[in-house]
Amino acid sequence: DDESTVTEVLERRKEITANQLTLLGQFFHLSPIRFFS
């Protein structure tokens, strides 16, 4: 089923994006000076 495969890929992509945003948030929280200088 193509539709189910696409849905799985989209869901996985959402998870990956969420993880990246979380990591970016942690990095930003740990070193805010680097972003503003």
**Beta carbons of 28 and 35 less than 8 angstroms apart:** yes
**Beta carbons of 10 and 4 less than 8 angstroms apart:** no
pLDDT at 5 over 90: yes
Cα gap 14→35, rounded to integer Å = 25
* φ and ψ of 19, to 5 deg: -65, -40
Cα gap 10→3, rounded to integer Å = 11
pLDDT at 12 over 90: yes
pLDDT at 29 over 80: no
